[in-house]
Structure 1
Amino acid sequence: MRLHRLTLTAFGPFAGSHTVDFDELSAAGLFLLHGATGAGKTSVLDGVCFALYGGVPGSRQGNRLRSDHAGQDTLTEVVLDLTVGGRRLEITRRPEQPRPKKRGSGWTMEKAVTLLREHTAGQWRALSKSHQEAGEELRQLIGMSREQFCQVVLLPQGEFATFLRATATERAALLGKLFDTRRFKAVEEWLRAERRAAEQRVAAGDGELLRLAERMGQAAGDDPEALAGPLPEGAAAGDPELAAHILRWAAVLATTARERAGIADLAVTAAEGAHEQAQREAEAVRELAVRQRRHAAAARRAHDMAGEREARAREQDLLGTAERAATVAPALELRERAAGRQARTAAEERSARAGLPAGQYEAGAEQLAEYENRLREELGGLADADRDEQRAAELAHDRARVEREAAEDERLTADTAAWLDGWETERLGRERAVDAAQSAATRAAELSGALDRARRRLDAARERDSHATALLAAQDRLRTARDAAADARDHWQDVREARINGMAAELAAQLSPGEGCLVCGATEHPRPARPAARQVGRADEEAAQEAQQRTAGARDAAQEQVVHLAAARDAALAAAGPEPAAELAAAHAALEEEYRAAVRSAAGAPEARQALDRALAEHARRTADRGDAESRLASLTTRRELLDREAAELTARLARARGAHATVAERRARLTADARLAAAAAGAARAAQESARALKEADSDLADAAYKAGFPTPEAAAEALLPETELRRLRQRAEEWRREEAAVTAELTALELAEAAALPPADPDGARRAVETATVRLRGVTARQSAAHTAREALDRLRAEALRGTRALAPAREEYARLRRLADLATGAGENTLRMELETYVLAARLEQVAAAASVRLHRMSSGRYTLVHTDARASRNVKSGLGLMVVDSWTGTERDTATLSGGETFFASLALALGLADVVTDEAGGARLDTLFVDEGFGSLDEQTLDEVLDVLDGLRERDRAVGIVSHVAELRQRVPAQLQVVKGQRGSALRHRTAGER
């Protein structure tokens, strides 16, 4: 088997898709797999094992295959391209794993996938999509189980170091996994089981005769004759008088049992009547106790509610005050907005008046307007301006454009502010709609549980009524069956009595000359008894007994059915209560309608949430627009200031040009500026007057609203306001109180509960104890009746069993002796001096082959010093023998235990053992060629010389065209082995990097 390519996707620590080119790595024959601890070196080997067998090595079976670093849409997958058995195959496996749903949200479970393809005639051809078919095809081609493959191809050095120091039992466990010795173990188990079965048969036969006597006494019950015992003093299981004594004793017991049965019949009839009466009385007492408890609970709750009335009244007053205050909330909000606008306009007015002449600072809006008109008239009287005046006109044009743009931005700002002023109201409305839908969803969930309980109670009520009807019919059948059983029992007793009276004649009919009598043992029979005119024989008695058993069985079946139906009815009654099924059906229908209404209300939750989201988006957009407009206004203000400065400079130049005399342009500029200031101040004054008037109107409206709502001042109304959640809580508590008062009133006024409360307290425990007493008595007399009726039949059957058991005992004893010897030999006991089991014997032969194959490489790695040998020396203290390993030290000429090897010696000894085991397992599996091997860790314990020798041995594996991958942390190996596969770990998962012999 040769590996070509391995692709890992979202597997182990690898988040994405990574490919290992084994052809490129194997070109040098020896390659190194290295990386930091936890990077994922072992995951590469796990991927090979998972592709071939659908699972990872046994010690890592519980590990999660899917990478925690992979994206949700990336599925875990392993693809392996290999050649095995002369065929080029590709295996693709995906484990069962969750993936996002293609439609909607949430997750779904992706089923496991296995794909097997073969490369023939230059193209890939699909072979199978079945896990079982692909797995079986691969196992037949590889010729090894997963355990064997992981031990032979993925050589785990740590396990073989443990194997060197293991006990014989531990070695047997590992070798048993690799070499299929289950058939030998099965032979051992089969021999053990056959020996135990034969031993049990002999033991049963030895004790059967003595146990028969005890069973006869048990069948007769407390009969004084039975207590005396069937055997005379000193008798044993081979006594010839034993059978005759048992027969005489059984006849006496049968006669006594018939008399005891008649007495038991009378006792059963009386006990059944007392039991039924006790059950009826207990049922009545239980119903009375339930009604009394309900009435008492309602009375206690009514008393508690009376003590809560003051607190309820306080909450009702608080709720009423808060609801009245809610009507004043809009007026309070309008007043706050008016006060804010008044403060803004007053500040703007002060700012506008700051530039006015001293004589005009205190003027009103109309006076300022007149002042502006006078300035405009003076401007109109000015003559045409010169070039500077033309420039002043241009400046005025620019100033007007700036003012227009500023006015547009101011309008946008005002519109946005107006919309934002109503934002809180709209937001609260949207949130209330979402809250209402969510409350409906919560209510639907609560109603779902109540609806389920009501449905179960309705089903129980219907089952209760059905069982009650069936119980009446079953009780009628029980009475009929009892009468029939009593008649059959009387007839059987009559027949048995007649047969006992004529038993001497029946025994005489079986006598033959020269044969011993079964009663006295005599061989002569001078006066045998003569049968009566109508002789009752065994067949008559057996027919009568069969009829009695048949009717008794029918009676017991009818009794069992009555008990079963009564228990089922009681269970259904406990679950459903006494209410009629029609009332429960009506209550269930009402709950179902309320539940459907809540579901319909809850269905609007997504739409309400979407509306709220749209409103939030609009709020964000308008807030951004206002910010942009304010930024532009600031820029325009700066531009306007620049224009004003330029006009002032122009005026100054004209003044300098005219000396002490003002020019027309200067005068026009001054007059124009004064007019603008006057106009701005007049506008600001009018806005301040309007906002003051609006504030006054808002104060008046607020006072009217507070008065109409019953509050002395607006401040009192504001203090009485409560959050909406608190209002909902108070309303809900008020509604709960109303429902609870109605329920308690209904309980207290129920006629049947009031009548029950007027009676003395019920004692259900006493009634239950009376039923239990009657039941115990009925069971006792019924058991005694059954024992009396079956005693004779049991005695006859036991005598026949004793005769059969004696004849069967001799051959069973001979068979047991033969099986015991064989089982002891196969399981390491008895004559097996080495205490070696059959399976261990086979494994010892395999271990001897492994030691011989391992010694070839160990001899070379240790520079000719060490070899491994197998020993079957007998172990002490009952320890398993046959699986010992010793190391022969050629330097000292001694054998010593493998546990005495040093760390480095243990490593190359375990490596040699692993390679030798690989050869033996390969031969055991049919000689399948293994072209790719992996050796895991342990190289760090070797010195430089030993490391060279170990690498020479591994490099020598290429003689059979093998590629060997070394998995190690040792840094020196990176210099010695040029072909490398590095596993690099990172926060987003691990990655693979190739390095071939030709790269630096």
Structure 2
Amino acid sequence: MRLHRLEVAAFGPYRSREVVDFDALGADGLFLLHGDTGAGKTTLLDAVAFALFGTVPGARGQVKRLRCDLAEPDEPTEVVLELTVQGQRLRLQRSPEYQRPKRRGEGTTTQQAKAVLQWVGPPPAGQPAEGLTRIDEVGRTVQRLLGMSAEQFFQVVLLPQGEFARFLRADTDEREKLLERLFGTKRFAEVEGWFRERRADRRRELDQQRQELREWTARFAQVAGEDVPEEDVAGWVARTGERIRSSVEQARDDEKRARAARESADELLAERLSAAERVRRVREAHRRLAALAEQEEERKRWAAELEAARRAAAVVGVAAQADRCAAQLDEAREAEDRKAAALAATGFADVQADTADLRKLSGKLREEAGALAGLVAEAEQQVRDQRDIERHAEAASEARARVQVLGEKLAGIPERARDLRERLDVAIDAEAKLGEVRKRESELVAAVRDAERLPAAERAVADAGAAARVAIDQHQEARERFLELRRWRLDGMAAELASRLTSGSPCPVCGSSDHPAPAMAAPEAVSPEQEQAAEEAESRAERRRKAAEAAKHDAETKLAALRERLRGRTGAQLTEELSLLRREIAGLDALAQQRAPLAKQVQAAETEQRELEEKRAAELQAATAAETQHRALTERVAERARRLEEARGGHPDVAARRAHLTGIVRALDALAEVRSAAASAAEQLERQRAEVREALWRAGFETVDEMRAAARDEATVRDLEKRLADARAAEAAARATLNEPELFGVGPDDEVDVESARAKAQAARERAEAAVAVLRSATAQADALGTLAERLAAATERLRPLEEEFAELDALTDVVNGRGQNARKMSLRSYVLAARLEEVAIAATARLQTMSQGRYSFVHSDAAGSHGTRGGLGLDVLDDFSGTVRPAKTLSGGESFLASLSLALGLADVVAAETGGSLLDTLFVDEGFGTLDSETLDVVMNILDELRAGGRVVGLVSHVEELRQRIPTRLRVRKSRTGSSLELQMA
């Protein structure tokens, strides 16, 4: 992954749009990001993280406040990042969610977050050429290309030294949390959880099975009526079952004897009851015959009354119908008198005319009233049309007045619209020119800056040349000193060898054990340590010489580039040209700012003119339509008035004449109808009276009154019939009873002893029922105990394998979760993390040994912690000077920085290899260099030089002054009241 370009706008402390060109900034592979505290150095790293993942590291990501408080309301907050991942160049643009002022009205509204991914060049296979715009799709695509999550990226690319310093000193739990986020051990945690959940499930099943066994045992004891023994429950169950079976056999024998005694007593009682019932039936039959004999005369009267009522029933209906016909005739004659009076009230004189004449006259008047129906509707319309004539006259007058007013308003609008359009065209031309002029302004501003940097660049060339000459001289002196010391050592080599000779030992040159004249050391003799120190000094001087020569070359290159861009122009010339251009920009900007209000005014004027013309045309059309309708209605009303005058006759209007005719028609029809009804009623009455006389003769009655005296209602008739039938049935039933064969020889005075037999039967029945209850209870108890014994045995068999399986699962779960037989107290997840931490310690040790010049190494420990805490994540340092393993907390500030930086770099390598992520060509190291001395800083810089080997770019975030002298390429963050800004510095 390599970063190319970053743009931030209204983001963090950056009020306006700022651009970071990583290609130019990282051309040497190493650059410095510096500035005052709070200026916004770390915000640039946050911007990179936000562009990639939509979030920022640490606590700043929890606040979710990314918009600049000083930004203009219309300035959008966004971050744009161009980078290359896996050979594919892409452009990411993100905006966070923030509050902005409403474009209409007061208050604020929420600007939603958005993300856009665009491919620079051909898109990858399967990806749309237009890019992606959904936030979730952009996030998944970035994570897939990088091969790591946001947490991993924050640890391996944005190396936070403070966090790794805490990681060194953290306890096991804190260290475990970080490693879990980086190495994704969620699946191992899920395995641990799976074991715990499975053990909990099996424990619940086992507890349920045990509870079930306890419940079956308690139910067995409850049914048996005994307490559960503490031991030998199975034997107790068997003994109890045998005892209950014996009690069942005894109860069965008792029930058989009681049943036989009850059957014998029931037979005796049945015989006595049968004899008593025969005596009762004979007595009841004699009693009924005696009562019927006393009722003989009364039954004869009932029969005579019933026979007369049946003859009168045939005449009652005919007489009632004759009464109804007489009543109908009276009603018809009264109605005839009323209708005749009503007809006379209408002014009709011949009310005594017959029915046929009345109907003929009614038809004639109805036709005449029907002819007037249409004229009534026209009379009503005549009234409405007269009102409409007045209304149309008023509407036409008002519309003409409005037409005149609208014409006066339209008079000056076209000229005003033309003037506004001309001014708008001028503003549009100014806005079009403004972009090109601003581009020229940016070029002149850059040129003025180049002119300002020219003296410094010339001094830098001179200083670099002087420094290079000094470095060359110092290197020559150091080399001459080294060669001189080597020559002196070679000259004094004989004395050096002689100093090592001892009496009796052979000479390493000639092999003799005699040393008659060993050489003596000269005053200028040189030791090996002095020679080595001189050689190292010469090597350092050579490196300084090369660095000075490289700095001189860089300074000369930058000076040549400045002169090339200036093309011989001086700073004064450029400033004057820029001043003139800015005055031109101010004038164009003033005109361009008038574009929006002028466009609105032009649109408003054109809209007003169009609306007024439409209104004037509409009013003119309305006036014409009202006048046309006024003329048409006037003509139609005059013609209709002539026809209505002829039709009303002597009445106030046509409706009154028609109502009068309609009233006469209704009165004629009503009188004709009631006269016809009266004639029909008289004929019907005469026929009905003849039928009454015929019915009286057939029934044997002389008069209607005699018939009505003999008549009875239906209820009375039914009662008489029932009494007579009941008496006949009772007499027949009593005689039939006495004639039955089984009652032969039974007299009404016989007596039978039933009570003694009933008492014996009751006692036998109670003894039998008690025996049955005892047998049923014993049988039910035996059956229940047998079923419960079977279920107890089945529950015991089911429980045994569950207990064995749970014991094995319980032990294995404890081991997986770092308990029980797990001697190291390491869970499965901790074991995996321990292996990863060991890899990190190995990778970090390679860095730390170089930085500490071989003194320190990381030591990983998987031993259990104190007080039984989990092990596997211990991390200490080995001090090679003392040969002891020390806790990381004992390191000094500078040593802690070296250790945390080594750990961060080692962790970055391991995580990148673990996740299979893309090659990380860009790294950022944030702060911590202020704790190092000069020599240690040299070592660290050498390590960073190794990191940038092979094309890597390393960015350092620090305010340490010495780093500004060591790193030529710098990006300075300036802080001001109006917002932070960026400045690229090339030493």
TM-score normalised by length of structure 1: 0.43
Bigger CA radius of gyration: 2
TM-score normalised by length of structure 2: 0.44
